[in-house]
Structure 1
Amino acid sequence: MKVTISDIAKKAGVSKSTVSRILNGNYGQNTKDTVDKVLKVIKELDYRPNALAQSLKSMKTNVIGIILSNLKNPFWARVLEGVEDTCRKNGYNLMICNSNEDELLEEEHIKAFLMRQVDGIIINATVKNDHLYKRLIDQKFPFVTINRKIPGLDIDLVTMDNVAGSMAGVEHLIGQGKNSIALFVYPQENVSPRLDRIEGYMKALISNGIEIDHSLIHVVEEKQGRVKEAVKKLLSTTNRPDAIFSTNNMMTLEILEGIKEMGLNVPKDISLVGYDETVWSMHLNPPLTTVYQPSYDMGELAAKRVIELIEKTGDLQPITHILQPNLIIRESCGTKKEEFISE
């Protein structure tokens, strides 16, 4: 049977209004003995407040929604950890949705969040629902984007310096004597991290006097097996590259599969640098040189910012946070000792 405020009041020998005040944290009008007695009864009866009733009364649900583009990617696990830790410390619950890079599904999630009266939304946008993003901005709804920029909209953003991260990876390969470096990237479609990583790749080549060979830039469909087949095709040519720069950790696994199936060895036959440090990067054979992104920090900053917007405690003008990646050097380029290089 559900425990009510009346049950608590009866057992504690106090009025319902006294119980209500104590539940709301208003202890001042009661003696310490009364407060202790009521709190003890609350614990004994395992009383659980009606969250819906409380939210109707306060016009606040203490829930934040987050929409991510691909929950299969381990990068988002650390982002979510940063978001959830910050929400919990500040008294908010988190609702998690996956758009799977589908703008229609993303739209459905946004509308569902608004229907459920969440207090704010964090989103790694598909960048295809401008009308919805703009509506949230116009309504001054607490709304923070992560990772991807939304062109043409002035909006709160927490992202990475992907140009710098890409340059660091490619310049390391050049420093190892590699001058034919293939780039693998998923289709850009105005997705800023992908575009920025291509830009960083090109800048690193140009700044080191290496001519850009567009035949080495491989834009591969984001479907299982497509990257592996593209790698095998590339490595079967007579003028195969001496290094590969992968712009996504899920892509890196398929690249490694393709290299293995071609009977080649990393780094003896071809060097490899990946993007996104994961728990398995150091356990690969050989351990993977990779661009590390402070993903937990991204989640933490996004959650802090959306809470500021909800509670109106910070600057309400849109703010952009750009986090700096670092390069972790391991053996996939020939280096023997692990190094953590801060850019």
Structure 2
Amino acid sequence: MKKITITDVAQHANVSKSTVSQFLNGRYDYMGSNTKKRIEASIKELGFQANFVARSLKMKQTSTIGVIVANILHTFSTQIIRAIEDACNKNNFHIIVCNADDDPGKEKDYINMLRAKQVDGLIIFPTGGNFDLYAEMEKQKFPLVFIDRIVEGLTVDTVLLDNKHAMELAVNHLTERGHERIGIITTSLIRNVTPRVERIAGFVNAMNKNGLAVDNEWVKGLELSVIQKGLANMLSLKNPPTAIIAGNDLSMMEILHYTVKNNINIPDDLALISVDELAFADIFTPSLSNISQPAFEMGKTAAMILLKRILESSEGKTGIIKFEGKLIARNST
């Protein structure tokens, strides 16, 4: 069967090849509606399929970006991905999503794979374990945006939560509810991941501002698999905390598993609040308080920054954009 070409479509629709090309590339703002309808009808009737590889080579652009998340299990990550996809779709870009599992080795492989596929840019939740690779992309002026995490020593556009402010919201809310012994549990601090480190520091700062003592036994950064054990140790202290801040949604899940298994009454025995939203937060009994991140706005912002660097210029000043969280007070506090 003969392969249908742009020439065939143009002849069938009674327009020029350049008009068909403009249609295929989405440049039809000044194209008449009848012309568009004829081209659409001809493409459908002839069964024409555009050669995107050839078009990409000609334009030196694949209209594709890569998104590498550190851990796709985070609700925050999936919300960010959705926002990026929405923004890219409106600008006729596609995305390829990869999950690094907080593993620098996997992240490195994905970066190399996506660049081999000639994506036009990358949005990364950096593990922090591939500094030389990040620095190489920065030196090459490859379009790059970081989300959620700052990598010290690099000047890469970064979008993240104002973690200090988030901790102030959480601590202030708990103190207003009468709590003085407040603890925090988050995931591992081994690689100095920005939100985890900043939330611990913000917690200590907020406690000090409220004139409250910080017991080191009430502050834990643990691997996910041992969070329940760490909570058990914390609650077995002579003076255990009466309220816990979960540093992220995965930490909160582990804390909830422990409280259910051990018949701990929330909030009478232990008040809980988390950073990040849980899908079931408002239907869990009791409903769960949290500091909500504006994930969709953050994802859209990251996408628009990257697209601007791809479509306009990779030059220009980079910056760190911090978004404020919002307290959603429910019944767990």
TM-score (norm 2): 0.91
Instruction: Say if 1:33 and 1:282 are closer, same or farther in 2 by CA, change over 3 A.
Output: closer
Judge which range, 188-197 or 18-27, deviates more: 18-27
**Which SS does the other structure have where 1:283 is aligned?**
coil
Q: 1:82-124 CA deviation, whole Å, 9 max, x = no partner?
A: 1011001111001101111010110111111111111110000
CA distance in structure 1 between the aligned counterparts of 2:24 and 2:330, rounded to whole angstroms: 55
- Could you tell me the percent identity over the aligned residues? 34
Task: Please tell me whether the aligned partners of residues 141 and 314 of structure 2 are also in contact (alpha carbons under 8 angstroms).
Answer: no
Task: Please tell me whether the aligned partners of residues 235 and 262 of structure 1 are also in contact (alpha carbons under 8 angstroms).
Answer: no
Whether 1:261 aligns to 2:268 is: no
Give how far 1:15 is off.
7.2
CA RMSD of aligned residues (A): 2.4
CA distance in structure 2 between the aligned counterparts of 1:314 and 1:235, rounded to whole angstroms: 51
Whether 1:152 aligns to 2:156 is: no
The residue that corresponds to 1:211 in the other structure is 213
Task: Please tell me whether the aligned partners of residues 145 and 156 of structure 1 are also in contact (alpha carbons under 8 angstroms).
Answer: yes
Q: 1:132-179 CA deviation, whole Å, 9 max, x = no partner?
A: 111111111110101100011111111110011012101211121111
Instruction: Say if 1:82 and 1:31 are closer, same or farther in 2 by CA, change over 3 A.
Output: closer
Task: Please tell me whether the aligned partners of residues 186 and 222 of structure 1 are also in contact (alpha carbons under 8 angstroms).
Answer: yes
CA distance in structure 2 between the aligned counterparts of 1:88 and 1:323, rounded to whole angstroms: 24
Instruction: Say if 1:56 and 1:259 are closer, same or farther in 2 by CA, change over 3 A.
Output: same
The residue that corresponds to 1:84 in the other structure is 85
Task: Please tell me whether the aligned partners of residues 232 and 259 of structure 1 are also in contact (alpha carbons under 8 angstroms).
Answer: no
The residue that corresponds to 1:311 in the other structure is 311
The residue that corresponds to 1:190 in the other structure is 192
Structure 1, unmatched stretches of 5+, are 334-343
> Aligned partner of 1:178: which letter?
H
Judge which range, 257-266 or 307-316, deviates more: 307-316
Structure 2, unmatched stretches of 5+, are none
CA distance in structure 2 between the aligned counterparts of 1:15 and 1:59, rounded to whole angstroms: 23
> Aligned partner of 2:201: which letter?
E
Instruction: Say if 1:24 and 1:178 are closer, same or farther in 2 by CA, change over 3 A.
Output: closer
CA distance in structure 1 between the aligned counterparts of 2:164 and 2:28, rounded to whole angstroms: 54
CA distance in structure 2 between the aligned counterparts of 1:184 and 1:21, rounded to whole angstroms: 55
> Aligned partner of 1:73: which letter?
H
Query: Aligned pair count?
Result: 330
Q: 1:288-339 CA deviation, whole Å, 9 max, x = no partner?
A: 1101100111100000000010012697211221111011111111xxxxxx
CA distance in structure 2 between the aligned counterparts of 1:300 and 1:26, rounded to whole angstroms: 23
Instruction: Say if 1:305 and 1:35 are closer, same or farther in 2 by CA, change over 3 A.
Output: closer
Judge which range, 139-148 or 208-217, deviates more: 208-217
> Aligned partner of 1:102: which letter?
D
TM-score (norm 1): 0.89
